Chains A and B, each alone.
Chain A
Amino acid sequence: MREKLEILSAMVDDELDIESQQSLTDELLANPAMKGAWRRYNLIGEVLREEYAREPRTAMRPQPVQPWHHVPQSASAAKPLLARWMPIAASMVLTVVGTITVTGMLRDARPSLGPGEIRAIVEQLPVVQTPTADMADAAASDANQVALVRYEESVPMEHDERLESYIVNFNEQRVNRGMPGVHPYVRIVGYETAR
Chain B
Amino acid sequence: MSWDTHVRYAAGIVIATAVVTAAAESQPQASDILYHMAEATRALHYTGTFVYHRGNQIHSLKIVHRGEVNDAEGSGEYERMTSLTGAAREVIRDGSRVVCIYADNRSVVVEKSPSTKYFPLALIGASSGIGEYYQIEVKGDDRVAGRATWNVAVRPTADDRYGYAIWIDKESKLPMRSTVVDANGRILEEIQFTSLTTHDAIPDAWLEPEFGSAGYRWFANTKPEAEAGADDAAGDTVDSDWNVSWLPAGFKMLEDHEQMVSASRVPVRHWVFSDGLAMVSVFIEQLDDVKKPLRGFSTRGAVNALGRVERKHQITVVGEVPLDTVRRIAGAVEYRDTQ
Q: Answer whether A and B are interacting partners.
A: yes
Q: Is the interface of B mostly helix, strand, loop or mixed?
A: strand
Interface centre among A137, A148, A149, A194 (most CB of B within 10 A): A149
Whether A140 and B331, one on each chain, are in contact in the complex, defined by CB atoms closer than 8 angstroms, is yes
The CA-CA distance from A1 to B314 in the complex, in Å, is 37
Contact check: which of B164, B327, B332 meets A179 at CB < 8 Å? B164
Q: A17 at the A/B interface (Cβ < 8 Å)? A: yes
Whether A176 and B100, one on each chain, are in contact in the complex, defined by CB atoms closer than 8 angstroms, is no
In the complex, identify which listed stretch (B4-12, B84-92, B229-237) lies at the interface while the others stay far away.
Answer: B84-92
Q: A173 at the A/B interface (Cβ < 8 Å)? A: yes
The CA-CA distance from A159 to B217 in the complex, in Å, is 14
The CA-CA distance from A171 to B302 in the complex, in Å, is 12
0/1 string, A149-166, CB within 8 A of B gives 1: 110111111011111111
| Sampled A-B contacts (28; CB under 8 Å) | A18-B299, A143-B245, A149-B327, A153-B330, A155-B296, A156-B299, A160-B294, A161-B217, A161-B263, A162-B264, A162-B291, A164-B100, A164-B263, A166-B305, A170-B319, A171-B98, A172-B111, A172-B113, A177-B274, A179-B120, A180-B34, A180-B38, A181-B37, A187-B301, A189-B90, A190-B59, A191-B87, A194-B87
The CA-CA distance from A190 to B98 in the complex, in Å, is 16
Q: B168 at the A/B interface (Cβ < 8 Å)? A: yes
- Which residues of chain B are near A152, meaning CB under 8 Å? 295-296, 308
A-B contact count (CB 8 A): 234
Whether A182 and B327, one on each chain, are in contact in the complex, defined by CB atoms closer than 8 angstroms, is no
Measured CB to CB, the nearest residue on chain B to A161 is: B263
- Which residues of chain B are near A161, meaning CB under 8 Å? 107, 109, 217, 219, 262-263
Q: B228 at the A/B interface (Cβ < 8 Å)? A: no
Q: A52 at the A/B interface (Cβ < 8 Å)? A: no
Q: A184 at the A/B interface (Cβ < 8 Å)? A: yes
Known: A149-B330, A173-B279, A186-B81. A167 touches B308 (CB 8 A): no
| Minimum CB–CB distance for B67 against chain A, Å | 14
Q: Footprint of B on A, CB under 8 Å?
A: 17-19, 22, 104, 137, 140-141, 143, 145-150, 152-157, 159-174, 176-194
Measured CB to CB, the nearest residue on chain A to B116 is: A176
Whether B320 and A137, one on each chain, are in contact in the complex, defined by CB atoms closer than 8 angstroms, is no
Q: Would you list which residues of chain B between 43 and 79 have a CB under 8 Å from chain A?
A: 52, 54-57, 59, 61, 63
Q: B117 at the A/B interface (Cβ < 8 Å)? A: yes
Known: A178-B278, A183-B191. A164 touches B109 (CB 8 A): yes
Q: How large, as a class, is the contact surface on chain B?
A: 35 or more
The CA-CA distance from A24 to B158 in the complex, in Å, is 30
Whether B316 and A163, one on each chain, are in contact in the complex, defined by CB atoms closer than 8 angstroms, is yes
Contact check: which of A169, A177, A184 meets B254 at CB < 8 Å? A177
Whether A181 and B278, one on each chain, are in contact in the complex, defined by CB atoms closer than 8 angstroms, is no
Q: B144 at the A/B interface (Cβ < 8 Å)? A: no
Whether A180 and B81, one on each chain, are in contact in the complex, defined by CB atoms closer than 8 angstroms, is no
| Minimum CB–CB distance for B315 against chain A, Å | 10
The CA-CA distance from A170 to B328 in the complex, in Å, is 18
The CA-CA distance from A187 to B175 in the complex, in Å, is 17
Whether B245 and A187, one on each chain, are in contact in the complex, defined by CB atoms closer than 8 angstroms, is no
Whether A166 and B56, one on each chain, are in contact in the complex, defined by CB atoms closer than 8 angstroms, is no
Whether A157 and B307, one on each chain, are in contact in the complex, defined by CB atoms closer than 8 angstroms, is yes
Measured CB to CB, the nearest residue on chain A to B174 is: A181
Whether B109 and A137, one on each chain, are in contact in the complex, defined by CB atoms closer than 8 angstroms, is no
| Minimum CB–CB distance for A145 against chain B, Å | 7
Measured CB to CB, the nearest residue on chain B to A191 is: B300
The CA-CA distance from A193 to B102 in the complex, in Å, is 10
- Which residues of chain B are near A141, meaning CB under 8 Å? 334
Measured CB to CB, the nearest residue on chain B to A159 is: B105
| Minimum CB–CB distance for A192 against chain B, Å | 5
The CA-CA distance from A152 to B293 in the complex, in Å, is 11
